[in-house]
Chain A
């Protein structure tokens, strides 16, 4: 466990260093860009692109499009048509008809495996030369400029398939500091005890493979995607604890009178309901939590939980928003440049300034304004324990069911054989080939 934690921390520190180099190369290659633009004025193309973004972002994205068109005005006559498509549903719409989908679209990083599998995303590495020629930076520069986790999340089969846009799609702990002290928030045991003493509850979604994986990841378990699209679960390899021990830890939390299992998607309602003193959620609930907790509004990394005799830091799924290029785009090159543009350092800063969306760009994330944002800094704190979750389609239903069984108390902490059977069933379902 300690080893994985160290690797996690070490990784981010290591990757942070070359980012300054990246920034320098960026400024250096600025000049080369203007050169290429000058050498090729004769063949100025007409380029029509379509882009999809979230409804709330439309005005901001239009601003970014305008600056993109102006920036490349010397090289091409670009027109961009902006459409509405939420990042959370992009995959469904794109996969319905890939050839009719927009050239550039934003999506949540957990959709990447499915999109790559369906061949919907353009391999960005293949466009390296084009991006170098026009944007004046290489794909390696882009990888260096963004947080390593976000680059991992955008990578499949060792190639970059999307541009990291934001690092805000993870969860952490919101709490009401008037009820729960910062010390109480450090472990589930003290957290639940403090909430019970105040007659309040602590909420978390168990019936979702996205949330309940946090306990398993914390104990050193891993998930992965096999070549054939099936999911692999490693519950024994590097883990220091057995699956049964972790489940017992989860059952202890779920069985506590002050714990409230919240249905997936119902968290905002429950926060507004006012019976919660602390809740596991993400930046999308920042406003709701702020309203509910008032002056006591605080956020921090997830607590530790008890496995056997030890306290284990709860992990989490590190989620990101990415911008991808349609592999069937008529103008893949320019589409990639547009995707690069709306995710570059400058525009990530704009995104944070207008919509408070946490940047994945290292320089943008290092700014004071970002550090002052309670939710985003809690997310950054948790990101040290975050795991990029790459799983296949069969992962979700069996894990949701497993979480629901724990939340409903259908397993008992005393019944080790029962827990083992349930775990085996879940693993069988998750790792099953697609039928």
Chain B
């Protein structure tokens, strides 16, 4: 926590420093620096940096043109997300529909958001520009050398190469991660669903209603609150068990294969890796069919009398074993199947780690008379945990969002018999992420899906922050040593 606080503090200081510098530049700057407040190129012209002046002027014109020529039309409607509904009239002569100038809520939302991001970047550039022009003024006053354009460019590939190098990745993150994320967050505060779908219909702001529906109750008709708690609980149980079982299984398997008593270790390793070679969705769909109500497994169990015996002792009430179609059975089966899918990966990682355990440590422990069990718990496990700890955290978060295993194993096989769950389109086997998927894919309920998405994000972010903070403390290495 202190680290986070310290981080926030230094971030705040940096911002305050930036604005202080800007204020100083405006107050103490000469006429050209002040003119730069209007025409961004002015200061550069004064210092004879003509190319820079032209470039920054083009930037200024482009931002203004984008704002007033294009974006304002959308941003001005951001408050309502549009008011004009689409209407069309068929024109017999051209054989075409003629549309009115209608509003498209989603475009308004998206383009407004992109505009806000562009504005934010422009303001930083604008303020930074005044500061850098003021710096130029100071250099000129002190009689220092002022860079030519060529020298500036040269600096970008030498001294300030990190700036050049980071430019593309940061642009990528802004365009492909931050903007979609912000769109999703905004959608959670609208009523964007099947009955408010652009372009034919408009959607608008909805306040916190979606969150109230997600966390609140409201009888049989509004069961999102009921379903959410259960889906969340299963998501966490699943993430915990699937991570731990594959992790422990992988380590045990690799120890077993690495053991000197095991013959043909390479063959065994190869056999297990074959499961990785087959695409996951193929094996999952095959396994789903094996364990379906009318699948091969059920036929075999019925033929050998297992089904009858289970029914006799009252464990099942159906004429088949509901491997993937009754909640408890399905939960257990999914975790078991996931072990089979996930263990080979963990085995590969664990093999790599085990081979790196310092041999002298094991040797000296053995000479000191430690039993194999003691060696495992006191040396092997701490070492493996230390090296794979961060990966374990990532695995847990990955499993919270493990769409493939859950969706492919239950889609089309599992039908809930819990009516309150069904009324909000959820199932006992759903993770938050599969629920979210079906809400968007089958029910176009984008607003609830976005709301759930935000919750998933918060859970993952909180867990990752806490776990990483505890696991990767700087002093851990010494403790281990």
Question: Is A120 touching B200 in the complex (CB atoms < 8 A)?
Answer: yes
Question: Which residue of A has the minimal Cβ distance to B419?
Answer: A425
**Residues 118-132 (chain A) with a chain B CB within 8 angstroms:** 118-120, 122, 126-127, 129-130
Interface string of A79-94 (1 = CB under 8 A from B): 0000000000000100
Question: Is B444 touching A426 in the complex (CB atoms < 8 A)?
Answer: no
Give bound CA distance, A428 to B149, whole Å. 71
Give bound CA distance, A409 to B322, whole Å. 13
* Cβ contacts under 8 Å, B418 to chain A: 401
* Cβ contacts under 8 Å, B424 to chain A: 435
A334 on interface, CB distance cutoff 8 Å = yes
Give bound CA distance, A261 to B294, whole Å. 9
Q: In whole Å, how far is B334's beta carbon from the nearest beta carbon of chain A? A: 17
* Cβ contacts under 8 Å, A401 to chain B: 415-419, 421-422
* Cβ contacts under 8 Å, B97 to chain A: 122, 327-329, 332
**Residues 242-296 (chain B) with a chain A CB within 8 angstroms:** 289, 292-294
Question: Is B422 touching A266 in the complex (CB atoms < 8 A)?
Answer: no
B193 on interface, CB distance cutoff 8 Å = yes
Question: Is B222 touching A435 in the complex (CB atoms < 8 A)?
Answer: yes
A270 on interface, CB distance cutoff 8 Å = yes
**Residues 242-264 (chain A) with a chain B CB within 8 angstroms:** 257, 260-264
Number of residues in B with C-beta < 8 Å to the partner? 51
Question: Is A397 touching B195 in the complex (CB atoms < 8 A)?
Answer: no
Q: Taking A393-B443, A425-B220 as contacts, is the C-beta distance between A260 and B193 under 8 angstroms? A: no
B448 on interface, CB distance cutoff 8 Å = yes
Question: Is A263 touching B294 in the complex (CB atoms < 8 A)?
Answer: yes
Interface segment among B87-95, B113-121, B338-346, B371-379: the answer is B87-95
A422 on interface, CB distance cutoff 8 Å = yes
Q: In whole Å, how far is A245's beta carbon from the nearest beta carbon of chain B? A: 20
Contact among A127, A398, A403, A408 for B318, CB-based, below 8 A: A408
A45 on interface, CB distance cutoff 8 Å = yes
Number of residues in A with C-beta < 8 Å to the partner? 62
Question: Is B221 touching A99 in the complex (CB atoms < 8 A)?
Answer: no
* Cβ contacts under 8 Å, A398 to chain B: 419, 422-423
Give bound CA distance, A30 to B177, whole Å. 58
Question: Is B193 touching A266 in the complex (CB atoms < 8 A)?
Answer: no
A410 on interface, CB distance cutoff 8 Å = yes
Most chain B CB within 10 A, of A98, A122, A264, A429, is at: A429
Give bound CA distance, A409 to B325, whole Å. 13
* Cβ contacts under 8 Å, A114 to chain B: 194
Question: Is B417 touching A405 in the complex (CB atoms < 8 A)?
Answer: yes
Task: Kindly count the residue-residue contacts between A and B in the assembled complex, taking CB atoms under 8 Å apart.
Answer: 147
Question: Is B221 touching A433 in the complex (CB atoms < 8 A)?
Answer: yes
* Cβ contacts under 8 Å, B318 to chain A: 408-409
Contact among B319, B417, B445 for A410, CB-based, below 8 A: B417
Give bound CA distance, A9 to B97, whole Å. 40
Question: Is B95 touching A331 in the complex (CB atoms < 8 A)?
Answer: yes
Question: Which residue of B has the minimal Cβ distance to A99?
Answer: B199
Question: Is B294 touching A262 in the complex (CB atoms < 8 A)?
Answer: yes
A228 on interface, CB distance cutoff 8 Å = yes
B201 on interface, CB distance cutoff 8 Å = yes
Interface string of A27-44 (1 = CB under 8 A from B): 000000000000000000
* Cβ contacts under 8 Å, A98 to chain B: 199-200
Question: Which residue of B has the minimal Cβ distance to A123?
Answer: B90
Question: Which residue of A has the minimal Cβ distance to B219?
Answer: A428
Question: Is A95 touching B197 in the complex (CB atoms < 8 A)?
Answer: yes
* Cβ contacts under 8 Å, B415 to chain A: 207, 263-264, 400-401, 403-404
A265 on interface, CB distance cutoff 8 Å = yes
* Cβ contacts under 8 Å, A393 to chain B: 194, 442-444
**Residues 378-407 (chain A) with a chain B CB within 8 angstroms:** 393-394, 396-398, 400-405
* Cβ contacts under 8 Å, A207 to chain B: 415
A333 on interface, CB distance cutoff 8 Å = yes
Q: Taking A127-B90, A130-B92, A435-B213 as contacts, is the C-beta distance between A408 and B317 under 8 angstroms? A: yes
B420 on interface, CB distance cutoff 8 Å = yes
B425 on interface, CB distance cutoff 8 Å = yes
Give bound CA distance, A425 to B422, whole Å. 10
Give bound CA distance, A263 to B298, whole Å. 14
Question: Is A428 touching B221 in the complex (CB atoms < 8 A)?
Answer: yes
* Cβ contacts under 8 Å, A329 to chain B: 97
Question: Which residue of B has the minimal Cβ distance to A325?
Answer: B97
Question: Is A130 touching B95 in the complex (CB atoms < 8 A)?
Answer: yes
Question: Is A333 touching B96 in the complex (CB atoms < 8 A)?
Answer: yes
Contact among B92, B201, B412, B445 for A119, CB-based, below 8 A: B201
Give bound CA distance, A435 to B227, whole Å. 13
A sample of 5 cross-chain residue pairs with beta-carbon separation below 8 angstroms, ordered by A number, consists of A95-B444, A260-B319, A269-B289, A327-B200, A333-B95
The 8 closest A-B pairs by CB, nearest first: A119-B200, A333-B95, A429-B423, A401-B422, A432-B221, A425-B419, A404-B415, A428-B220
